[in-house]
Chains A and B, each alone.
Chain A
Amino acid sequence: SYELTQPPSVSVSPGQTARITCSGDALPKQYAYWYQQKPGQAPVLVIYKDSERPSGIPERFSGSSSGTTVTLTISGVQAEDEADYYCQSADSSGPSVFGGGTKLTVL
């Protein structure tokens, strides 16, 4: 089955830039999506189609794609950005696969 690989954790100081990667063989052909999940809450879509930002999501959230890796970048990280982040995409095996998640810690 298809797998998306994320680092388990990323740490960054407030005001710095956080980059969370997601790797998958089908990513050159399929879009990736990113979700933010805070403790006890449902996930929230923060990036769709690799780099599009839904309305209401701060501009400091951005996405990019290069080959088999997509990256979620959070510029000027704030304490409120501390959360788990999940990438999601698809391949011929099904329309939705999630990465294992990355815990972002704001030091």
Chain B
Amino acid sequence: QVQLQESGPGLVKPSQTLSLTCTVSGGSISSGGYYWSWIRQHPGKGLEWIGYIYYSGSTYYNPSLKSRVTISVDTSKNQFSLKLSSVTAADTAVYYCARGKGITIFGVVTNWFDPWGQGTLVTVSS
């Protein structure tokens, strides 16, 4: 079955760019219909969707983070990546990658996520 694994620095300095990679195993990231997604969870808090890259290459980001987020894909390595620029302490969180599926109802796309990676804690501190 498909498995996802996040990797990247666990500590990032304020104002720098957070970079994470998600490696997909057990299936091709190029296979149709999936929304390869990033979700984060602040310590002791709830889940926040960051954005996705569709298998076609199109992206969609959370409006609250849109100006700082870039999600890209490397099909040759079966990986997709997250870049979050100009980070502050408020970006300290566990970052998850997940495979999303979608359905369109009344013109609205809804994603759901299965499976998820194990998550990686990123701390923003000098």
State the A residues within 8 Å of B (CB): 1, 26, 29-31, 33, 35, 41-45, 48-49, 54, 86, 88-101
Query: Which 7 pairs of residues, A with B, have the shortest CB-CB distance?
Result: A96-B49, A90-B110, A45-B114, A42-B116, A98-B47, A33-B112, A95-B111
A42 and B118 form a contact (CB under 8 A): yes
Say yes or no: A90-B116 contact (C-beta < 8 A), given A31-B103, A49-B103: no
Residue on A nearest B113 in the bound complex, by CB: A45
Cα distance A93–B49 when bound, in Å? 12
In the complex, what distance in Å separates the CA atom of A97 from the CA atom of B63?
12
A-B pairs with beta carbons under 8 A, tally: 82
Task: Flag whether B105 is at the interface (Cβ < 8 A).
Answer: yes
CB neighbours of B117 from chain A (8 A) = 42
**Residue from B48, B64, B106, B108 having most chain A Cβ neighbours under 10 A:** B108
CB pair B96–A94 under 8 Å, yes or no, is no
Give me 27 A-to-B residue pairs in the complex whose CB atoms sit less than 8 angstroms apart, sorted by A's number: A1-B64, A26-B108, A29-B106, A29-B108, A30-B108, A31-B112, A33-B110, A35-B47, A42-B116, A43-B47, A43-B96, A43-B116, A45-B113, A45-B114, A48-B112, A86-B47, A88-B47, A90-B110, A90-B111, A94-B62, A95-B60, A95-B102, A95-B108, A96-B113, A98-B47, A98-B49, A100-B46
Complex interface residues of chain B between 61 and 93 (CB less than 8 A to chain A): 62-64
Which of these, A31, A48, A99, contacts B105 with CB under 8 Å?
A31
Q: How far, in whole Å, are A96 and B61 apart by their CA atoms in the complex?
A: 10
B interface residue count range (under 10 / 10 to 19 / 20 to 34 / 35 or more): 20 to 34
Docked-complex contact B109 and A90, CB < 8 angstroms: yes
Contact in complex: B112, A88 (CB < 8 Å): yes
Name 16 extra pairs, CB < 8 A, besides A31-B112, A95-B111: A29-B108, A30-B105, A30-B110, A41-B118, A42-B116, A42-B119, A44-B116, A45-B112, A45-B113, A45-B114, A90-B109, A90-B110, A91-B108, A94-B60, A95-B35, A101-B46
